[in-house]
A and B are shown apart, each in its own frame.
Chain A
Amino acid sequence: MARLHEYQGKQQLSQGGIMIPRGAAANTAEAAYAIAAEIGRPVMVKAQVWVTGRAGIGAIRKAATPEEAALAAEALLGQRIKNLTISEVLVEEQIQIAHEFYAGVIVDDRAQAPLVIFSSVGGTGIEEIAVAHPDKVARSHVNIERGLLDYQARDLVRRTGIGGKLQSQLSELLVKLYQVARTCEARSAEINPLVLTTEDKLVAADCRITVDDYAVFRHPELGIEIAREYDRPPTALEKIAYAIEAQDYRGTFYFIQMAEDFAHGEGYIGFHGAGGGGSMMSMDALLRQGFKVATFVDTSGNPPASKVYRAAKIVLAVGPIDGYFGSGSGVASQEQFYSARGLFKAFLEAQLDVPIVVRLGGNGEDRAVEILEGLNGRIPAPVEGYKKDDSPDFCAQRLATLISEKAERREGEKAERQARDEDAGSSPESLYTFASPTGTVTLNHALCATCTSKVCIEACARHILSLNAEGLPVLNITPEEAKKGRCVECLACEVDCLLYGAGGGRVNLPIEGLASLQPQVKSQQVEG
């Protein structure tokens, strides 16, 4: 779930008619000084990081003057708390607290409805308060079609023993909070503490809002960069991966970087799953072999081969892994040879020299394994493909065996590389090129002329290639149609062509930002 920073959440509350302390976010000491000067009263300087209990660790500081505010900001900015670096502070006026409450809205999966929670005691330790004093906490489900009605909110507050004018004030606030949560489609929206000031005003002193990832697309106003929850800021690779997913809605590509700065021989494996449940199960099998997981990847939901290729390229960019392990549920509904082609292309380009084991069970598994194992002899690494009758544990054991065998072998002989015969005898005139939805397809007609199988015609998923008068493969649709999606980037015209044809097909699938990120990674990426 995409989390909003305190100041971003407070902006939403303010727009919803809930009072917040006067203030603004600053990313420099000078900006903090200016904000404090503008407020003209003592302020709080609050680190904008997603951790609880900020006050207890010095991440919230009081400042009586703009000078003090600048000093506090300087001390906080750039500091690390857990995995997070403080890059912004919220500078806001100090408020005079008479009492603290808690108010929250959360989506309750059990009731399939939003749940409004109010506590007459707020502040730190709200979870313990709820357990120790259930009479102080009231909850009520909301009918999503009607919203939270005024009388329901009043009754909620009444149940905690609050009456009179305060009851009205609080119930009005709860109605507004629900509306804010509903408007920004929050999985949860909390105000803690909700402060009653010495001037009898209700002010949201803190705010936590997490937005439903799946709804982020219709909330550009929230400025959410990556609609995913991390317990740290996303890594550069995660940003690149997310951009791929955001731009290509065919199938699912999910990526988490689980390790950074590791070395070869430490047992880190590039893990590439398919389907959430099967992936977690397969990762468990890997852990049981004593490996560590460098990446968690899920490509499922019938993704095109091009997406699986990009996923694999990103896994390979994570660092010096000791092996590559692909495994999902094992009995996939999707056609597995598309995934096999994507992996094939990525491993070939990288000339990967660590063992590869991929469990490709499901529809089209025979073809998938044949394609994948076609890598043997084309790259230094041993490659093994498995099918639905092979368990994740067995496959993980195979990987362990291959890795230990490789370690023994390393001393003496050096694996022989078989470089690709790059565009032999090609001249610019012989290259036939068209755009695919996310890349470029190039058919080297000089090689095609020597091809006897013409496998691309049959293997193309959408049969968009036909032989022209000279017997060379060309589009049988317009280039515009191909780019708009008739070309599904199945990669048959590159991978099957290399395996069963003359090797004249190339599909260039750029990954924005990857090359500049990993200049040290050995790559034989073919450009255009």
Chain B
Amino acid sequence: MAILIDQTKRVLVQGITGREGMARAKLMTEYGTQVIAGVTPGRGGEHVEGVPVYDTVLEAWEQVGPINVSVLFIPAPLVRSAALEAIDAGVKLLVIVPDRVPIYDVLSIAARAKTTGARFIGPNTLGVLSPGKAVLGMMGGRAASAKSWFIPGPVGISSRSGGITSSMAYYLAREGIGATTLVHVGGDAVVGLPHPEVMLEFERDPETKAVVMFGEIGTSQEERVADLIEAGAFTKPLIAYIGGKAAKQGTRFSHAGAIVEGGRGTHEGKVERLRAVGATVVDSFMELPQATKDVLAKIS
């Protein structure tokens, strides 16, 4: 098992004729993802990497049948329209890759998604990857790299940073620890599927035995994960690292989410809160593999 994506899901690529869309359609297909259609307005009738292109999501749905997931490679100003199109067509999971999507556009997408029961990952996400099964987005860059870097196993991975998602999975794999699914929740302040939602997904997945999380200063995602643990809603062992210790209050780094606002979202606050509910929080990123090994040894 895996969460969110595996080889049985039928995937649409919006913006498939663009520079990124084309490259990532290739990555996804070569890795094992069922990419069944692409959409670019005005480019219907073409093919990209053997995948048929349609003018609208509805047309794609009519022609190729039900679509489980849509991955968006669309310039940020056009994301809102494309996402609403996919949601209205009935797609239940969106992966919004681009960054710099205006925040009120994200709120609009969130509101529409709520009314139809759809969910979205991102914006500003590298995507989701279930080792040995399928990938959504651009994680791994090349299929050959993704295949050699990530291995299947018992650990769920959730990260606020795209690059760190890959590096966590790679450094764990180097120690022989594989993953069920890697999720980059997205780097922005408002994301569709924040850490707590991902934890609930991993809770439901029987093959996930423990979760490794990369948190960051800013937002309340990590504190809400602690709330879930406290409430008994998330019961699997959690191993976490929180980045941004050096960030001064009020100094903002490239992730829009990494903003220290008031008392909420500080490095110390997150670490203390997670430790208080029994999570393993390491002080150095490179301690994650060993800490994960120790946790897995204890539960097996």
Contacts and interface: CB of A to CB of B under 8 A. Distances in A.
Partners in one complex: yes
Contacts of B108: 144-145
Interface in A251-274: 252, 254, 256, 274
A275 B189 CA distance: 16
B106 interface: yes
B183 to A, nearest CB: 14
A280 B187 contact: no
B100 interface: yes
Interface string B280-300: 000011100000000000000
Nearest to A227: B100
B147 interface: no
A96 B283 CA distance: 55
Interface in A128-179: 143-145
B1 interface: no
Interface residues of B, number: 64
A362 B142 CA distance: 10
B126 interface: yes
Contact of B111 (A143, A214, A280, A361): A143
B162 interface: yes
Contact of A277 (B216, B245, B246): B216
B103 A276 contact: no
B253 A280 contact: yes
Given A112-B107, A214-B101, A331-B167, A277 B243 contact: yes
A279 B246 CA distance: 11
A298 B140 contact: no
A107 B141 contact: no
A427 B99 CA distance: 46
A441 B74 CA distance: 30
A330 interface: yes
Interface stretch (B5-13, B57-65, B254-262): B254-262
B202 interface: no
Contact of A279 (B102, B139, B252, B253): B253
B176 interface: no
Contacts of A362: 141, 145, 163, 166
A88 interface: no
Interface string B240-277: 00011111001111111111001000000000000000
Interface string A217-228: 110000000001
Contacts of B235: none
A112 B141 contact: no
A328 B99 CA distance: 18
Contacts of B254: 252, 254, 275-276, 279, 298, 300
A1 B224 CA distance: 24
Interface in B140-175: 140-142, 145, 149, 159-164, 166-167, 169-171, 174
B211 to A, nearest CB: 17
Size class of the contact patch on chain A: 35 or more
Most A CB contacts (10 A, CB to CB) among B103, B106, B187, B214 go to: B103
B110 A212 contact: no
Contacts of B14: none
B251 A214 contact: no
B187 A276 contact: yes
A187 interface: yes
Instruction: Tell me the interface secondary structure of chain B in the complex.
Output: loop
B139 A275 contact: no
A214 B145 contact: no
B176 to A, nearest CB: 15
Contacts of B286: 391-393
Nearest to B247: A280
Interface string B180-211: 00000001011010100000000000000000
Interface stretch (A5-13, A332-340, A512-520): A332-340
B285 A281 contact: yes
B166 A332 contact: yes
A215 B163 contact: no
Given A109-B190, A212-B104, A276 B149 contact: no
A213 B255 CA distance: 12
Contacts of B112: 145
B141 A363 contact: yes
Contacts of A213: 100, 256
B163 A231 contact: no
A-B interface, 5 closest residue pairs, ranked by CB to CB distance from nearest: A277-B161, A329-B163, A275-B163, A333-B141, A276-B255
Given A218-B77, A361-B167, 4 more contacts: A185-B104, A217-B77, A252-B99, A331-B170
26 contacts: A1-B259, A107-B104, A107-B189, A109-B219, A110-B219, A112-B107, A112-B111, A114-B107, A144-B107, A185-B102, A212-B103, A212-B104, A214-B102, A217-B77, A276-B254, A284-B246, A301-B99, A332-B163, A333-B126, A333-B162, A334-B141, A361-B167, A362-B166, A391-B286, A392-B285, A393-B284
Interface of A: 1, 107, 109-110, 112-114, 127, 143-145, 182, 185, 187, 212-215, 217-218, 228-229, 231, 252, 254, 256, 274-281, 283-284, 287, 293, 296, 298, 300-302, 328-335, 361-363, 388-389, 391-393
Interface of B: 20, 76-77, 99-104, 106-108, 110-112, 126, 138-142, 145, 149, 159-164, 166-167, 169-171, 174, 187, 189-190, 192, 194, 214, 216, 219-220, 224, 243-247, 250-259, 262, 284-286
